Amino acid sequence: MRAAWYSHNGEAKDVMVVGEMPLPEPGPGEVRVRLHTSGVNPSDVKSRRARPLVDPRIVPHSDGAGVIDAVGEGVPAHRVGERVWIWNGQWARPLGTASTYMVLPSAQAVLLPDGVDFAAGACFGIPALTALEAVHLSGDLKDQTVLVTGASSAVGHYITQLVTLAGGHVIGTVGSPDKAAHAHAAGMKDAIFYKTESVAERVKTLTGGQGASVIIDMDFASTSHLLSAGALASHGTVVCYGSNAPEVPVNFRAMLLGSITLKFFLVYDLTAQDRVWGLAQLTALLQAGQLQHSIGPRFSLDQIVQAHETVEAGQSVGNVVVDLI
């Protein structure tokens, strides 16, 4: 099979290799998927650059979609031929979705509803499930104001839709007019251009000085200061799924006096209960046609370097997808 891999950390152009690898065979409880697409996420490029290798050869990417072509012992034979999408493809394992075939536990290959294409399926494992868990942890959002940082990002685009479906009012931070238009199409009501505006002051203006009820945040390192600047209402909640710095100072007095709740989660490490809930919710939304999927630049496997560099540049709108067929 063809695959892309790296054997040491570094820049994509210096470490990524595309070549042939042995075709894997499914073991007990496993399926083999002929992958059509592979999704590239920020965590994939961060891992390539800095995460210590757990194997001499790492095939990156956790998200993807394709068709089951073989099953191992204990897996029903009728699963052969199923269209599926993948979650946690390269979490705690060396071989991810940047390959034409992959083997993984049967439960990690989820039925892809008819009418949902393989490119969209490459966006579910990290972006869509992260969005679902973030909104789930936010509580009842009907008639609530929610500040979504990075509302046009892969995750933020789904969060904006889900908050809107829940009856909430989305204020989103965006970096450009094009990204604002993208987020508005997903349901965002008010845009804050974080590069040129004070996020906290704009939130206070938009909420009559009260602050947002909830902040759903993609980078706690750059957003933590909002907690002491009035962007969050008293008794408000912050739900965070990422940070560009491992240590982040917070103003304890501001959080104490505001009775602020902080919630953090890692989409790769959801509880079994939350995982089951998220998969069921996503399937229902897909079957009902209630989600927009934002597909951005697409590349071939031979263009894996360009795919990684595009994600790192952070300028494109939509999920970066590698086509494998």
> Residue 20: pLDDT band by 50, 70, 90 thresholds?
very high
Cα→Cα distances 268→7, 161, 167, 214, Å: 23, 22, 28, 23
**First CA to last CA across the chain, in angstroms?**
12
Model pTM? Answer: 0.97
Which of 168, 150, 119, 282 lies closest to 218, judged by CA?
A: 150
33, two tokens: 């998927």
Q: Mean pLDDT throughout 33-57? A: 96
pLDDT of residue 54: 87
* Cα gap 181→317, rounded to integer Å: 11
Query: Where do the structural domains in the chain lie, given as residue ranges?
Result: 2-123+293-323, 130-268
What digits encode the pLDDT tens for the residues 68-116? Answer: 999 999 999 999 999 999 999 999 999 999 999 999 999 999 999 999 9
According to DSSP, the β-strands at 109-111 and 145-148 are: unpaired
Query: 2-123+293-323: which CATH number, 2.40.50.140, 3.40.50.880, 3.90.180.10, 3.40.50.720?
Result: 3.90.180.10
pLDDT of residue 50: 94
pLDDT of residue 313: 95
Q: Mean pLDDT throughout 254-273? A: 97
* Cα gap 143→128, rounded to integer Å: 23
Question: Would the pLDDT of 35 be above 90?
Answer: yes
pLDDT of residue 287: 97
pLDDT of residue 12: 98
Q: Mean pLDDT throughout 165-178? A: 97
Average pLDDT, the chain: 97
- The pLDDT > 70 percentage for the chain reads 100
Q: Mean pLDDT throughout 131-140? A: 98
Query: 130-268: which CATH number, 3.20.20.70, 3.40.50.720, 1.10.1380.10, 3.40.430.10?
Result: 3.40.50.720
Cα→Cα distances 309→20, 48, 184, 233, 299, Å: 23, 12, 27, 38, 11
pLDDT of residue 44: 97
> Residue 254: pLDDT band by 50, 70, 90 thresholds?
very high
pLDDT of residue 257: 96
Identify residue 173 by its one-letter amino acid code.
T
- The pLDDT > 90 percentage for the chain reads 99
Q: Which residue has the higher pLDDT, 54 or 63?
A: 63
> Residue 246: pLDDT band by 50, 70, 90 thresholds?
very high
- DSSP of 83-110: EEEESSTTTTSSB-SSBSEEEEEGGGEE
Same fold, 2-123+293-323 and 130-268: no
Q: Mean pLDDT throughout 36-58? A: 96
